[in-house]
Amino acid sequence: MAASCVITSPEEEHTPKLDLVTPLVFNPSMLNLQATIPNQFIWPDDEKPCLEAPELDVPLIDLQNFLAHSHSTLDASRLISEACYKHGFFLVVNHVISEQLISDAHEYMSRFFDMPLSEKQRIQRKAGESCGYASSFTGRFSTKLPWKETLSFQFCDDKSRPKNVQDYFCDALGHEFEPFGKVYQEYCEAMSSLSLKIMELLGINLGVSGDYFKSFFEENDSIMRLNYYPPCQKPDLTFGTGPHCDPTSLTILHQDHVHGLQVFVDNQWRSISPNPKAFVVNIGDTFMALSNNRYKSCLHRAVVNSKSERKSLAFFLCPKKDRVVKPPRELLDGNTPRRYPDFTWSMLLEFTQKHYRADMNTLQAFTDWLSNKPIQ
């Protein structure tokens, strides 16, 4: 697809539409009874999806030796470095995350999205917030809506709040949801641990201490998201998730068996096939700033289909909210000046939740916004 297919929307389309009198309710069981889909979900002709995309050759990184503290990390390091310089996507296998834990996380995700809409709306995501249940973000935007439901919640690697995910489910939905909370507490802890191991490799690749980025992301304030993409009767008109770069630092995604993830590489959309034994890892905007633009936050999207539902588990690694994001000295010299100003994750999160709809230009737009908003 030509690059013109991913040109960003006009500025007014980035501003959240928080003044809708009667927001559209995204209820797939009702919407699928209609011959077509509401106009709010239909994308412009020059941005519509290509449902069949050629496969992206994503490097497969075997973490077994690295996680066993072996010195045989050169191959993994080289493959990750090549991917991060080009498009920021790679797969990890032999990650020691329990298959049963992954299966349980998918099972409880299915149970949640199978609940009646009124039950899910008990933890409706509020305007300007990043956590809670969202039915296509209908309360925030009024055009180019995604054909999906999500449940997002915060994970804090904070010893003073050791069960923050479990507490969230119990406090928001009641103690009968404690099993949900236990599974996702364990899953987030595993994802946080895996993220820090990957950060060690990224630090080595960039020529800084292996502990530098690992230490930076300890006590992380991360986000876990459950994604549900229902079947859509007009999949050629809409997206499950529109083209965007993740504003976070690192994303660890586990897909079910249904295709849908696409990445924009070499001026073309490419697909990444599901692999039940692998996690898809990609660089986000915050780490692109940490690496002083050396590693790329790549444009990606999710397409839907008319026959099968699709689900995925996404862990978004984020630094502690008050930690200042700036590249280490080793990544700065006379030939590579600073590309982005200092900022904190809380500032970028505020920008994406209240002022801007994430796309391929989020980090530059945020940099422009920062010029009038100094760090407090």
Residues annotated as catalytic (active site), given as ranges: 310
Six-digit token pair at 233?
Answer: 């009767």
- The token duo for 222 is 């991360």
Q: Is the separation of the CB atoms in 315 and 224 below 8 Å?
A: yes
The tokens for 189 are 């802890």
Cα–Cα–Cα angle for 190, 73, 63, rounded to 5 degrees: 30
Q: How many CB atoms lie within 10 A of CB 69?
A: 7
Q: How far is CA 281 from CA 74, 317, 366, 368, in A?
A: 19, 11, 23, 28
- Could you tell me if residue 135 is left (phi over 0), alpha (psi between -120 and 50 degrees) or otherwise beta? beta
∠183-189-191 over CA atoms, to 5°? 100
356's CB contacts (< 8 A; 6+ apart) are 14, 15, 362, 365, 366, 369
